[in-house]
Amino acid sequence: MIEEIHHRGPDNHGIRFYPGNRQEVIGLGHKRLSIIDLSDNGKQPMASVSGNTSIVFNGEIYNYHTIRRELEAEGWTFRTGTDTEVILNLYEKYGEGCLRHLNGMFAFAIYDHRKKQLFIARDRFGVRPLYYSLQGGTGLAFASELKALWKFPGVKKEVRFGALYQYARKRYVDHPDTIFEGIEKLKPGHYLIYKEGKAELKEYWDIDNFEELPLSFDDAVEELDALLLDSIRLRMISDVPVGAFLSGGLDSSLIVAMMAKYSALPIKTYSVGFEDERYSELGFARQVAERFGTDHTELKVSASDFAQHLYQAVTYRDAPLSESADVPMYMLSRMAKKDVSVILTGEGSDELFAGYPKYAYDRFAKAPWFRGLLKNPLAAAAINALPYSARKAKLAYHTLCIDDDRQRYGRWFSSIGEEAARTLFTREFQEQYLGSREERQPSVLKGTTNMNRMQYQDVKYWLSDNLLERGDRMVMAASVEGRLPFLDYRVGEFAFRLPEHYRIRGMERKYIVKKLAERYLPKELIYRKKIGFYVPVGDWFRNELKDFVGEHLLSDTFRSRGIFEAGKVEEMFSAHSRGTVNYEKELWTLLNLEIWFRACID
């Protein structure tokens, strides 16, 4: 199993077996990417000084120095300089309550030799992945990636075809489900106790405090400044070189600016872009790099580069890629690995501080005057008559017409709408596989306001099941550890207690983050029109990659799967190739499903 994830830890490995209850045997295996205490002392599985517990651990505990000092003051002893051993002692002191003391990204399993039980936990936001499968007669198997689980006896690589419908519409599958039968994700902020063949799942953390903080705006900016600086300071602790991905956007630029306060040496930064300046922010990234004197490296990705690495990225993901940006991220991570083993990135800011346009628009969804406008037949006719170039306005209108909050929130980011999906999937597929389980909505939706509820759903599902999952796979594929300062749980709890007008002022999104950034960056960089990291696959599918797409989506192999209406797919491919309709999202989704079948399933 561990050889399947060699890329996650090429520096060392270990396997240990322990006697369990009755006929049980507990096996722990680990692949190590050395970050803290590079000596063999950090090898895993690791036993505690007492010998009562053993652990395998993936991730980082950022506050381990503080916890260690507190434990040492109480008489606890340590044999290593690792954060891994801190978890062991903390568990022996607090048991399951140890989790509330940890600030970090983690997935770990502790075998308690006294209780004869496994304690398996995942961090609050789900930055680190953990999959598991409960197999009757063969016990419990768990791993950081799906490909490792498939090597365990009894775990089958059996596609849950109903989940393909959810993927096609949303670009991901809601936890705890996966795209495979019998395999689940351990939910973020949860732990699992396995003993005597039974598993018990418990939640230890969630975003559930929405009471507004009694802070003036200026004080809130000050508090956010302190929280982010401390988060970045903690995430720069490492015994190996640390760098940053720098897109030239607000979040990554602010992170680099704050990193510069803690580094006496030039920070190593990495940017990716394209030859076509319409889709590239390399120039903006270069400005930030020059301003802070970073050791900056750029990568330009061509259509042929993209196609060359697409299969590799899908294989590392174990699933269809949700975002075209996955491929450049994978390529950039491989380039960064030549210099560093730790990279800071900006994920999480948009979800926590309302950075997406939909947060501004959806505020009007329940307003009586706006509901009246939506019901006006003249308004509907005018919107529907808009050309394809105004598709975003159409999307906003039709999404805001949806009364149900969950359905409306999900529609904003869907790649294929409900009506289109029903015509795209074959009737036979829909009759056989579509049921309540595959189409279910997330069971939990918290928040005291519409915007809080929308952000909550994005943090719990869109972020953890999509963005964090792809981020983990693409950087770890290159044996690089990604660290996310905005996803310090203290920052997350703070963000959800801010008054809404601190997050959005008028139509200015991420308002408080931008005001904070004014302390570090020039205003022309902060308030410029955002291009975003857009991969021009729409253009490539019409030109350089047209044959590549056709070889997959017009093939007999694709047709024989019986999942999609071949004639409808051919119509979409033809219309996109002519430039009459932009089916970029749909073709990207279909192409990745086909590549996934060929690379991981067939």
Binding-site positions for ATP read: 272
User: Which residues sit in the known binding site?
Assistant: 83, 272
CA distance 322 to 330: 13
Tokens 């418990």, residue located? 202
Task: Output the CA torsion sign for 435, 445, 145, 472.
Answer: positive
Tally of residues, the chain: 602
For residues 347 and 321, is the Cβ–Cβ distance under 8 A? no
Phi then psi for residue 203, to 5 deg, are: -95, 135
190-195 and 53-61 strand pairing: unpaired
Report the alpha-carbon angle 28-314-530, nearest 5.
115
Distance separating the N- and C-terminal Cα atoms of the chain = 20
CA distance 514 to 19: 55
* Torsion from C-alpha of 39, 40, 46, 49, nearest 10 degrees: -70
Tokens 């004869």, residue located? 116
Q: How far is CA 245 from CA 24, 352, 517, 523, in A?
A: 45, 20, 17, 21
DSSP one-letter code for 564: B
CA distance 332 to 421: 33
Helices (H), 463-580: 468-476, 489-495, 500-503, 511-517, 523-526, 537-542, 546-553, 556-560, 566-578
CA distance 441 to 451: 18
DSSP one-letter code for 100: G
CA distance 48 to 54: 6
User: Which residues sit in the known binding site for L-glutamine?
Assistant: 83
Phi then psi for residue 250, to 5 deg, are: -60, -50
CA distance 36 to 39: 9
